[in-house]
Amino acid sequence: MIMNDKIYSGILKGTAILFVVLFSGFIGTLATNSWESLEIFGLGFLSGREWNPVTVQFGAWPFILGTLLTSFLALAISLPFSLATGILLGEYVKSPGLARFASVFVNLLASIPSVVFGLWGLAVVVPLVQRLQMVLGVPPYGVGIFSSSIVLAIMIMPFMASMTREVLKNVPESVRHGALALGMTKQEVVLGISLPYVRSGIAAGVLLALGRALGETMAVTMLIGNATRVPSSIFSLGNTLASVIASQFNEAESDVHRSAMMLLALVLLSLTFIINAAGRKIISSGAGRNHGRI
Amino acid sequence: MKKAITPSALAAVFLCLVLGAAGAQGAVSLLGSGASFPAPIYSKMFDVYARETGVKVNYQAIGSSGGLKNIMDRVVDFGGSDSFVKDADFSKYPGTIVHIPTVAGAVVVTYNLPGSPKLRLTGDVVAEIFLGNIVKWNDAKIASLNPQLKLPNLPIMPVYRSDGSGTTFNFTAYLNAVSAEWKSKVGSANSVSWPVGQGAAQNAGVAGVVARTPGSVGYVELAYANQNKLAVASIRNSSGNWIEPSLESTSAAAAGSMPKDTRILLVDTNASEGYPICALTWIIVYKEQNYGGRTREQAKAVVDLLWWITHEGQKYTNALDYAPLSDSAVKAAEAIIKGITYGGASLR
Amino acid sequence: MGAFDHDEGYRLRVRKNAAFTWLVLLPSLLVLAILAVIVLTVFLKGVKALNPRFFLETQKPFGDPGGGIANGIVGSVMVLGIAALVSVPLSILAALHLVEKSSSFLSTLLRLVVDSLQGIPSIVIGVVIYAWMVVSLGSFSAFSGGIALALIMIPTVTTSIQEVLLLVPASYMEAAISLGVPRWRASLGILLPAAKSGILNGVGLGIARISGETAPLLFTAFGNPFMNLNAAKPTGAIPLIIYEYIKSPYADWHEKAWGAALILVAFVFALNMAVGARKTDKSR
């Protein structure tokens, strides 16, 4: 078989183009399928506060808000825990056996079906939140944006922790040893040297985790209470873009209803696109700086 | 050396695929998709049917609207649906479709109250609860229906199905029929915009929330309530009788007059012993079976299956908590099945 | 005095350090505990359903004794196999493109496509593949299910392969090329083998990611209560069975759903252990 650099480069380029074409086709299919509702509602779809299959009135605002609320709340909850775990694995535990255990464990957790997280959340998290809500004097629904955020936080924790551990690997061991030799405590090394060194990597990890949280479907669908009203607080019942699609798509009666959900998918896709693009931008600018230093 | 692992694994998978593709096509097999409500009884029926006739029927519960879309796209032999196709939608299908009723089901109102008293409710009161007009269990409207009970001063929390479902369709269709306010403010559909309350996914979700939340009230399918021994309310039907939901009162609801095409809402039945929140579930097929290169054999298999479901198959319903078809529904189904053709000729 | 001050400051630093260690350790232990509880829940709820018949028999209707998920196990292996077969080569090529031509416009575009693919709700992927493959071919199939899952798997696999490729020291490639080895040989002969364990890990992670997916299979692989070995026909899958059973009214089916979830998790666990074991072999 004749192989040369030109063919090789051509194959790579071909693959890249195939990806781009497939993705465009995907967007195209989504766009054609959502055209009907786009024609009816226009850009007002984004700010529309009502979602009513009976009157065939559809607006995405309750779900955009619900998605942003759950995702950012989940991020805020999981950040201290994932940072701690990442630092523990990246800075304190240096045994390769433990590191391997951690990576197997992360994969294992990634494989637990989302529906199982949902069931677990219903059995464990919801009653706890219900108790908290009674203490706070808000309606004790149990389910809602807050409960979904907690479970979502648990779901993205392994991912963020392993991202943190990975970027901490980039801190040259010699820098660490030097600092310790100069009499710095471990805490001073971590807070003063390692974390600032990988700041951009962690920021990017956070954004990528956010990208995951935005699209998470089944567990959220089971825990968020599925109200189509605009959420008024973090204890409100709500819906995310993904959860409303998951809960209504299979039984949508009118074509407009179905096409409105396709439009929701496009909105979600754009949201993810923006978040990921921002994350990549930080990684590429950060990576450049790190390279300069080493 | 580096190639040793992956190619062998790939080869194994390929071999599996090739062998699979070469596997015998053998006997006729049929494909159906749609409503999840009748899925358990269908799985029982089709298991027996496969052993008795060798015809394998694969039914997947992807949801009523998914089933209708699949039959519209002609990728399945039959679709299953909890709601019938509206007149205006008939033209969307590439051929004439017919509805064959298979079993009947009921939707029950379940609640969580201290001491699990047996409640009596009217449709109007149920509507007012789900509209948010009645907010306490000791409201005079509920108390007057249940004079023998001492109802607690507990806030009512309505629980609804968050996923689109035929259950919601039938429940809201009933409220539509009995409450003008419900009809104007909410309406009836597989998913509606609920004025109050909290959503939960699937029957299990609704039952779960009701089970752990004192003061809650929800609606689930009868089979679900029976299997899980839930507290259920008796509802006053249009003849003025208090009817407990049961398989008998469900079948009775369908015992009234049946239109030729069987497309009928059973809710708010005028049968005197009928439970008022009942519904049929249907299988939907094309009247003319000669399409898309289908063989006569395949068409005949569809018709035989439908006949079997509406006759021999009915004896498996009670054990799984489904209500069998009433005689009038079976009669109507027979006429429809006899009208199914292949190349214009009847198959039965 | 001065020496005392120093001592005081030093003690404060030591105490701060100790406090920080706990600050890192305690949340990590909590995370570990929560995750262990979840895994344990799946195990305890699922193990009740397990017996030989559960693995060997196909699904039975409610009320019949016995019955298993053999049709789903075989179907899942088939669908996951197709997904891996389709996505792994594409992901490797895409990752190579991203690493070797990292500054090109096409790479930027590719990166965004791969990231965004991750943001599509999986049910939407199922719907699009239904429109593309099922309707046009006129039949549900294991193959269309595999393609839908491949699309979900590609971002995970591509990203993790790209990460390990980046870890291969640039000097390896530079040395090879300066010795006159053609670029393609250097890529396939040096870059990929050096990153082999990472690639396997990425594939493991990718399969873990898709093995529990239900929504994209509803409209593609479809499900099948009978045993099916034909990739062109509708096929059962474990997640589809979990979905079917968990929404049923029957306690027995709920137990079986947990059993199926346990098998799924155990399968991915075993897969990852195999990858882990391979890594150890290599390091020796």
Q: What is the CATH number of the domain that holds A242?
A: 1.10.3720.10
The values of phi and psi at residue B285, to 5°, are -135, 170
The rounded distance, in Å, linking the Cα atoms of A40 and C144 is 33
C81 CA: distance to closest CA in chain B (Å): 7
* Mean pLDDT value of segment C69-81: 95
Residue from C247, C254, C256, C281 whose CB has the most chain B CBs within 10 Å, to mutate: C247
Q: What residue of C is the nearest CA neighbor of B56?
A: C226
The DSSP code sequence of A90-157 is: III---HHHHHHHHHHHHHHHHS-HHHHHHHIIIIIHHHHHHHHHHHTS-----SHHHHHHHHHHHHH
The token pair at C155 is: 């971002």
Instruction: Inspect the interface and report whether the beta carbons of B200 and A226 lie closer than 8 Å.
Output: yes
Residue C282's pLDDT is 43
Residue C248's pLDDT is 81
Homologous superfamily (CATH) for B7-105+280-346: Periplasmic binding protein-like II (3.40.190.10)
Residue C280's pLDDT is 47
Instruction: Evaluate whether B186 touches B194 at the Cβ level (below 8 Å).
Output: yes
Of A84, A154, A271, the CB nearest to C34: A154
Sign for the CA dihedral angle at C150, C156, C160, C163 comes to: positive
Residue C277's pLDDT is 59
Residue C283's pLDDT is 41
Instruction: Inspect the interface and report whether the beta carbons of B190 and A53 lie closer than 8 Å.
Output: yes
Instruction: Evaluate whether C198 touches C168 at the Cβ level (below 8 Å).
Output: no
Neighbours of C154 (CB within 10 A): 25
Within the 29-88 window of chain A, which residues sit less than 8 Å (CB to CB) from chain C?
Answer: 29-30, 33, 80-82, 84-85, 87-88
Q: Which residue has the higher pLDDT, A277 or A45?
A: A45
Q: What are the extents of the domains in chain B?
A: 7-105+280-346, 106-278
> Does A248 reach chain B within 8 Å, measured CB to CB?
yes
Q: Output the CA–CA distances (angstroms, integers) from residue A213 to A78, A120, A243, C64, in the order listed.
A: 11, 18, 12, 41
Cβ neighbors of A214 (< 8 A, separation 6 or more) are A67, A71, A240, A241, A242, A268, A271, A272, A275, C119
pTM: predicted TM-score of the whole model, two decimal places: 0.84
Q: Where does the pLDDT of residue A1 fall: very low under 50, low under 70, confident under 90, or very high at 90 and above?
A: low
Q: Which residue has the higher pLDDT, B33 or A122?
A: B33
Of B64, B163, B198, the CB nearest to A247: B163
CB-CB neighbors (< 8 A) of B165 in chain A = 251
Closest of C17, C18, C23 to residue A81, by C-alpha? C23
Residue B3's pLDDT is 38
Closest of C268, C271, C203, C272 to residue C239, by C-alpha? C268
Instruction: Evaluate whether A219 touches A152 at the Cβ level (below 8 Å).
Output: yes
Q: Report DSSP state, residue B136.
A: B
Asked if the model's pLDDT at residue A116 lies above 90, the reply is no
List the chains bordering chain A where 3 or more Cβ pairs fall under 8 Å.
B, C
Residue C1's pLDDT is 46
Mean pLDDT by 10 residues, chain B (348 residues): 43 46 61 90 94 94 86 94 90 95 94 93 96 95 94 92 86 96 93 87 82 90 86 95 94 85 91 92 96 92 97 94 91 96 92
Instruction: Evaluate whether A215 touches A244 at the Cβ level (below 8 Å).
Output: no
The values of phi and psi at residue C212, to 5°, are -100, 5
Q: Where does the pLDDT of residue A253 fall: very low under 50, low under 70, confident under 90, or very high at 90 and above?
A: confident
Q: Output the CA–CA distances (angstroms, integers) from residue A210 to A107, B335, C118, C273, in the order listed.
A: 19, 58, 12, 28
Which residue, chain included where needed, has tokens 């429809």?
B336
* Mean pLDDT value of segment A137-157: 90
Instruction: Inspect the interface and report whether the beta carbons of C28 and A112 lie closer than 8 Å.
Output: no
The rounded distance, in Å, linking the Cα atoms of A106 and C156 is 14
Helices C142-167, C70-100: crossing angle, 10 deg rounding:
40
Q: Output the CA–CA distances (angstroms, integers) from residue B339 to A95, B185, B303, B325, B344, in the order listed.
A: 75, 41, 10, 19, 10
Residue from A130, A148, A251, A258 whose CB has the most chain B CBs within 10 Å, to mutate: A251
Q: How many distinct structural domains can be found in chain A?
A: 1
Q: Report DSSP state, residue B78.
A: E
> Does A114 reach chain C within 8 Å, measured CB to CB?
yes
C7 CA: distance to closest CA in chain B (Å): 59
Instruction: Inspect the interface and report whether the beta carbons of C251 and B227 lie closer than 8 Å.
Output: yes
Angle at C188 between CA B13 and CA A205, to 5 degrees: 85
Instruction: Inspect the interface and report whether the beta carbons of A188 and C214 lie closer than 8 Å.
Output: no
Instruction: Inspect the interface and report whether the beta carbons of C63 and B44 lie closer than 8 Å.
Output: yes
| Residue A138 structural domain | 5-293
CB-CB neighbors (< 8 A) of C182 in chain A = 4-5
CB-CB neighbors (< 8 A) of B56 in chain C = 226
Instruction: Inspect the interface and report whether the beta carbons of A185 and C112 lie closer than 8 Å.
Output: no
Closest of C100, C202, C195 to residue C159, by C-alpha? C202
> Does C229 reach chain A within 8 Å, measured CB to CB?
no
Q: Where does the pLDDT of residue C265 fall: very low under 50, low under 70, confident under 90, or very high at 90 and above?
A: confident
> Does C25 reach chain A within 8 Å, measured CB to CB?
yes
Of A54, A228, A258, the CB nearest to B189: A54
Instruction: Inspect the interface and report whether the beta carbons of B65 and A248 lie closer than 8 Å.
Output: no
The rounded distance, in Å, linking the Cα atoms of B24 and B155 is 62
Domain B106-278 has CATH 3.40.190.10: yes
Residue A31's pLDDT is 92
Question: If you count residue pairs, one on B and one on C, with CB atoms under 8 Å apart, how many are there?
Answer: 104
Q: How far is CA C73 from the centre of its chain?
A: 17
Q: Which residue has the higher pLDDT, A215 or C275?
A: A215
> Does A128 reach chain B within 8 Å, measured CB to CB?
no
